[in-house]
Amino acid sequence: MTRKFAIALAASASVLATPAQAWGPIGHRVTAEIAEDNISGHTQAQIAQIIGTEGLPEASTWPDEQRSNPSPFWQETASPFHYVTLPEGRSVEDLEHPPEGDAATALERFTAVLRDPAASQDDKARALRFIVHIVSDLHQPLHAGNGTDRGGNDFIVDWFDEQTNLHWVWDEGMILRQQLSYSEYADRLERRITPNRVIDWWDADPEVWIAESAAMRDEIYPGVSEEYGMGTPESPAILRYRYNWQWTPSVEERLAQSGVRLAAYLDWVFAEPA
């Protein structure tokens, strides 16, 4: 084994050992900020009763911040709550949920907790934080994984001379290149969201979000070749300005959509009884 290959392999192993988290903290907070600006007053009051002054942007990153919590819930139960698996060519109607659950079943579970008048405030707070997080997760295309490469975590890339993986590029790489705080980024995106887009995007159906993500996922893998890299530790796919230019608008649209959809979902969850 050459020294160069050994270094590349070690760097890749350290990247792959990191759990996937959809978007990074900035992406999740952007989604939550947009949602907070679009929910109804009734929903705002319901949320304040549960998490007080915490706010949705702060709540949005909590499920990722707890990943190092040694409790069995965080180390075993909650791990699959961040993604779904939909193999290429399969319809969302054929989505199969593993016994341990996934993001879709977790969303149902936590929604039921929020609507349960007997649930404790602590349980409702945990449920709300997960819902805010999961809705955003399901809009990141690689969190509707194809079941072959851990949502792009095993597809190794050279991102502006840094070895990482395709999943990280979508979670954080393209977002961080904007060099904006989450509030600045949310403000930029909100100024682009027209009333017609709010109407078009106002959809609380997770199957719609998953189908969109899976369709986009199948397009975002860079072409592989011996010249431009094969997506392996020995031959990472080389991603530079062109990939960033091509896909940043899609990243931003998914962030904006997830903010509007999170508002729609929370308004639906907290809707007053007919």
Q: Which domains does the chain have, with CATH numbers?
A: 3-269 (1.10.575.10)
3-state class of 85 per DSSP? Answer: strand
Q: Per this entry, what is the length of the chain? A: 274
Question: Beta-carbon neighbour count of residue 80 at 10 Å?
Answer: 18
Classify residue 100 by burial, with Cβ atoms within 10 Å: 0-12, 13-18, 19+: exposed
Per-residue pLDDT of 126-178, as tens digits, reads 999 999 999 999 999 999 999 999 999 999 999 999 999 999 999 999 999 99
Q: For 88-104, how does the pLDDT look when each residue is reduced to its tens digit (9 = 90+)?
A: 999 999 899 999 999 99
* Distance separating alpha carbons of residues 68 and 231, to the nearest angstrom: 29
Give me 202's structure tokens.
Answer: 């106002």
3-class secondary-structure state, position 262 = helix
Cβ atoms of residues 132 and 60 within 8 Å:
yes
pTM score, two decimals?
0.90
Six-digit token pair at 203?
């959809």
The amino acid present at 36, given as its one-letter code, is E
User: Could you read off the pLDDT of 28-50 as tens digits, one per residue?
Assistant: 999 999 999 999 999 999 999 99
